[in-house]
A and B are shown apart, each in its own frame.
Chain A
Amino acid sequence: MSTDLVLQKVETLLAGFAKGTAKPEPNRLDLNIDASDLIAAITALRGARWGYLAALTGVDLGKEANQIEALYHLCEGDAIATLRVRVPRAGGAVPSVYALHPNSMFFERELMEMFGVTVTGLADTSHLFLPDGWPDGMYPLLKDTDVKAAAARTMGSEPPEMGRQGDRFIVPIGPQHPALKEPGHFEFAVDGELVTGATVRLGYVHRGIERACEQQNYTQNLYLTERVCGICSHSHANAYVNGVEQLAKVLAPPRAQAIRQLVACLERIHSHFLWLGVAAYEAGFETLLMYSWRDREVVMDVLEQMTGNRVNYSASVLGGVKYDVTAAHAAAIRRAMDTIEERATHYLHVVTTDTSFLARAQGIGVTSTEEADALGLLGPTLRAAGVTRDVRVDAPYGSYQQFPVTASVDSAGDLAARFKVRMLETLESVRVIRAILDGLPEGDLTVKFPRKIPAGETISRFEAPRGELFYYIKSNGTDKPERVKIRTPSICNWIYVLTKAVGSQMADVPPLLAGIDPCFSCNDRMIVVNRHGGDRRIWTREDLRRHASTQTRR
């Protein structure tokens, strides 16, 4: 079904609700909807099984317009339908769509705390990213918020309650915990070994990236978006570059696009090997961690040779790439691919046949295809449940049309399936890299790129190792973007952990957490302020010791 027909279906379904439609790009349809019609509109789409809720963007239209626009982006294959809901800046409200799309829980909490839009019907309205002591009425992503003023006010932080809470025995995982590579706070209510409740609190690695993007020019933002995440840094940079290139209507030369895809595939291998080690370690298989990370070094050395850094490759620039693939690089990459292929095949064999490993991975956290789709999961987590959804296949960008990728899918839906899917993806990436090296187009590396980008909006989707990365970029004709919205795949996958943790054993929770390949840094991109407000005193060793011992008896 062509994209036009797909979008026409939306127009027909929502004919009664849309107050106006527009087609800003061939694959996008914008519909203006009233807040009161939102639930009906989304129900109509869900009923026709059209699309999944990819992201919810809030845009501040400015003090003069005095409105905030909430954009509900739904994607089906290549087509993106955006329901645009305008609410007043002060006191605006939208209904919650949690019943229809469970992953909207995180999007809506984010909308509430960043823009001040009330979402009615939402069960949990506590802060998601902002600290508990954040001053009321201060919404970081509004254009006129003075963040420095917020920093000046002291924000205390109470340590969490210890021991029992009423009848429930709470086990905290995080913010500091050997299971977590980055801080996040999970509270699991347990009864013996059985988990009976789960909550999540994110935001410990807030860095204010979305807001910072509005204050730097497009080139500087390349490096800001790259640093959203360490292991999917190239995916972020590339998604951003694709978006800005769409806005400027400039196409990068074919060689540059192929090199971008090459680096992306290498990054995928790097990420999956890292994940393999980490997930195995969470389940207690330390040896696999050591071996997979040893083999990961092979890929990192190749990337370092080519781009100059092991992480944060900075390979893409607006209009092309910085670095070329020379014959020496190509030879080194091919050698590396031989090693990787052999090791990935071995690991695939290990994770699918080793008895003691399968005892911890098989049958853990099983989702059916319908459930995975309904929850709105993304990436390998979804593909391991039998849903073939991969942006590289559904909406190929860049050189993916020239070097296509097959999505790796498994239908078991459990943790073991996730291991298998990621190893299969690694092998697929090896194949694609070889294809690229064999067929690398000649030509320039960069093309001229304007400094000022014409006003417009664009959506750029990219398949990061963790799932679909969604970038919404709005330009205003200057050299700085108006709004950059980054929706990372990990935020959609948390719902899986919360749902599956309840009813499973405590010992299975860290592997479940690791199974979605969580990237906390990807989640937390919002404003960060010094936690201890105006207290600029540096804590000495004595201070720390005294603080720690007030919790203890001496």
Chain B
Amino acid sequence: MRALFNLLFFPGGLFLIVLALAYEWVDRKLLARFQNRIGPRWFQTVADIVKLLVKEEITPATAHPILFGVLPVVAMAGALTAALYVPLLGFRPAFSFKGDLIVTLYLLSLLTMSIGMAGWNSTSRFTMMGATRALTQLFSYEAPFMLALLGPAIVAQSWQISEIVAANQGPWLLLTQPFGFVVALIGLMGKLEMPPFDAPKAKTEIVAGALTEYSGRGLGLFHLGKEMELVVGLTLIAALYMGGIANPLEFFGKTLLLLVILSTLHAILTRLRIDQTVGLWWRYGAVAVLLQWLALIAWKGIVA
């Protein structure tokens, strides 16, 4: 019974949807203010989702209709489920078990892979290119991102999120593992396809990338899934690198601070080409995080 409540209302389900829409609003409003514009009103994101959900869904003639309809649901399900294992709003995660960090990471990747599959399934020229780019980007940032998030796990000697948080009560890990923090934060931008890593959905090149043929409900669910992923990602990074989240105030404070940093980077950088993204990650991202790991292992070896 409690499980059902968690799943549907709090901290997953309805609450998460509201939180995701609120964070999207903050992101868009920040970006607008950075660009000297007014930005959306407070209910804009809700209105957008409602509009998308009630719009007619047009299925391309050459796409597999069942797959076309199911993939958005899978994507959102992945994001919803991932939220159950992170300390949303500062409370203990709804469910917690050994190894849930890995499960969370894979659930987050599920969304990107559904986008890739959706793009391939749509068989339009733009979606094929978008899907290819989305998956290429996934392959490039996923390894460094995962390694960066596993850094705190090594220190805490556990794969369980709540235990990692509990073990890192000393100085914030972003100070002791700066490379890992930077890689994790930038990796989150890559996962969310936020500029400068928005090559998979580059509007001026491939219209909307993998989601070009989606309109209506499918697009609404993908969109919502992305926003939920934003919240979950921010929570994860804040929990692991910023000394855990003890209460709602800390939750909002830390995650919003991270969001401000992300929005600023979004505003001042140009979109990278997909080959430049891959180059960046495999050259600098991977090297940075491996150096970090070496330092960690050496430290562990000396101290412990």
Contact = CB atoms under 8 A, between A and B. Distances in A.
Question: Is A in direct contact with B (CB under 8 Å) within the complex?
Answer: yes
Given A294-B36, A507-B199, A283 B274 contact: no
A354 B199 CA distance: 19
A554 B58 contact: yes
B125 A172 contact: yes
Nearest to A514: B204
A337 interface: no
Contacts of B34: 287
Given A283-B271, A291-B36, A357-B270, A171 B126 contact: yes
A549 B65 CA distance: 15
Contacts of B128: 169
A290 B204 contact: no
Contact of A507 (B196, B202, B207): B202
Nearest to A287: B267
Interface in B63-104: 63, 65
A505 B132 contact: no
B60 A553 contact: yes
Contacts of B37: 290
A505 B275 CA distance: 9
A245 B207 CA distance: 47
Contact of A359 (B63, B126, B272): B272
B125 A356 contact: no
A287 B268 contact: yes
Interface residues of A, number: 40
A226 interface: no
A292 to B, nearest CB: 11
Contact of B35 (A163, A179, A290, A549): A290
A330 B132 CA distance: 56
A400 interface: no
A162 B272 CA distance: 28
B204 A179 contact: yes
Given A286-B35, A356-B272, A360-B273, A552 B205 contact: no
A375 interface: no
A551 B204 contact: no
Interface in B110-157: 123-126, 128-129, 132
Contact of A290 (B36, B59, B199): B36
B126 A552 contact: no
A288 to B, nearest CB: 8
Chain A CB count within 10 A is highest, among B35, B129, B195, B204, for B204
Contact of B269 (A163, A190, A356): A356
B193 interface: no
B203 interface: yes
Interface in A281-308: 281-287, 290-291, 294
A548 interface: yes
A178 B268 CA distance: 21
Given A178-B204, A179-B204, A507 B274 contact: yes
A284 B196 contact: yes
B205 A360 contact: no
Nearest to B126: A171
Contacts, number: 97
Nearest to B132: A192
A190 B206 CA distance: 13
A170 B195 contact: no
Interface string B165-202: 00000000000000000000000000000011011001
Nearest to A178: B203
A509 interface: yes
A505 B276 CA distance: 11
A554 B61 CA distance: 8
Given A507-B199, A509-B205, A552-B60, A285 B125 contact: no
Interface string B16-58: 0000000000000000001111000000000000000000001
B27 to A, nearest CB: 14
Chain B CB count within 10 A is highest, among A294, A354, A509, A553, for A553
A552 B273 contact: no
A203 B129 CA distance: 28
B271 A284 contact: yes
A506 interface: yes
Contacts of A294: 36
B123 A356 contact: no
B122 to A, nearest CB: 11
Interface string A161-202: 011000001111000011100000000001011000000000
B205 A179 contact: yes
Contacts of A290: 35-37
Given A359-B270, A554-B58, A507 B35 contact: no
A164 to B, nearest CB: 9
A208 interface: no
A336 B198 CA distance: 36
Contacts of B276: 359
Contact of A553 (B36, B59, B273, B274): B59
B125 A551 contact: no
23 contacts: A162-B124, A171-B125, A171-B206, A178-B204, A193-B275, A281-B204, A282-B204, A284-B195, A284-B272, A285-B271, A287-B34, A294-B36, A356-B196, A359-B276, A360-B271, A505-B275, A506-B129, A506-B206, A507-B202, A510-B205, A553-B61, A554-B58, A554-B59
Given A283-B271, A284-B272, 18 more contacts: A171-B125, A178-B203, A178-B204, A193-B274, A284-B198, A284-B204, A285-B270, A286-B35, A360-B271, A506-B205, A507-B205, A510-B204, A510-B205, A549-B58, A551-B60, A551-B61, A552-B58, A553-B65
Give 8 closest A-B pairs by Cβ, nearest first. A284-B271, A290-B35, A285-B270, A179-B204, A553-B61, A507-B273, A356-B270, A356-B269
